[in-house]
Amino acid sequence: MEENTAVQPKPKKKKRHQFLFVLFMTVFLMFTGQGLGTAIVYPFLNRVKDGGWLFLLEIYAVFAGIVILAAAYTFLFEKEIFRSYLWPSAGGPASNSLKMLGLGLFAGFLVNVLCAVSAFVAGDLDFSFGTFDALYLLGALLLIFVQSSAEELLTRGYLYMSIRERYGRIAGLILNSSLFMALHLGNPGVTSLSLLNLFLWGAVCTLIVEYTGSMWFVMAAHTAWNFTQNILLGLPNSGIVSPRSLLHLEAASDGLMYSALFGIEGGLPAVVFLAVLCVLLIAYRDRIRAIYGTAAVSEIKENSNV
């Protein structure tokens, strides 16, 4: 009996995943979403007592509009990407679960604290106890989750997965990490070291999504990173300082270990930790893929070895 050895044609690349269109849609969804978020938040601005709540609404809650538009656009036009936000076929039950959400929160907290401890030991930071308010801490965590999720849904979600489908993993990683870095160019105190850190953060999150299929992990890790440094430690979050935090920053020295204006992300420890994470993720990618079931679901395996 003769075997059918006909080569299956490669799936046709989607035209809507062309570089310029994806980049345009990402920026469009981001700025339009912020406008929508501002409209949602605006009625509450004159109804809340300050005490840091206005800061949370104006800086973090406005990202709710991006979450809404990113979810709506992908639901209508990018069903596979939309599914990755919820329960991805690429990973199975382990990918987006409460366990992965918890692991992401722990990972983001741990790496941020390690960076802060490194700067503290070097004598670049000095703390005192600030304000403890359980309701405020919980509200901050939830609103920062909205902000962090919005950025991840657009960059590691829509942008990365669209570019990956047409151009391969490496192109997707470089583009979404570069855009994430570029979005912080206007932040106070930005330096070349802080930009490198932002790029590496994007690369780490991209590799995690690629190897585990878990958007929830990176959304939670991003949340924990921002929440820890801005609300728990009272440090600048990419140059933005919270008026209220659990710890109060008494003094900070500007140097390689810490950026007085930009924060932990402007210091050398973050570069080291994130670079090491990148290396470890790539080195153990086959084992990670085997655990989360992503090894058998590579749509564009031939395009890259990442």
pLDDT bucket at 101, cuts 50 / 70 / 90: very high
Q: Is the dihedral of CA 159, 164, 169, 170 positive or negative?
A: negative
CA distance 110 to 129: 20
CA–CA distances in Å: residue 234 to residues 78, 147, 184, 239, 252: 39, 18, 19, 12, 11
Q: What is the mean pLDDT of the chain?
A: 90
User: What per-residue confidence (pLDDT) applies to 186?
Assistant: 87
The closest of 168, 171, 177 to 200, measured between CA atoms, is: 177
Burial of 183-211, coded b for 16+ CB within 10 Å and e otherwise, reads: bbeebebbbebbbbbbbbbbbbbbbbbbb
CB atoms within 10 A of CB 68: 16
Element (H, E) at 196: helix 192-212
User: What per-residue confidence (pLDDT) applies to 94?
Assistant: 64
Contact 200, 275 (CB under 8 A): yes
Is 167's pLDDT higher than 80? yes
Q: What does the pLDDT look like over 214-270, one tens digit per residue?
A: 999 999 999 999 999 999 999 999 989 999 999 998 888 888 899 988 999 999 999
CA distance 258 to 194: 10
Q: Is 126 left (phi over 0), alpha (psi -120 to 50) or beta?
A: beta
By CB atoms closer than 10 A (0-12, 13-18, 19+), residue 22 is: buried
Is 110's pLDDT higher than 70? yes
Alpha helices per DSSP H over 7-97: 19-45, 53-59, 64-77, 79-86
Query: Average pLDDT for residues 96-115, to the nearest whole number?
Result: 95
The closest of 217, 203, 48 to 148, measured between CA atoms, is: 217
CA distance 235 to 232: 8
User: What per-residue confidence (pLDDT) applies to 252?
Assistant: 87
Contact 303, 169 (CB under 8 A): yes
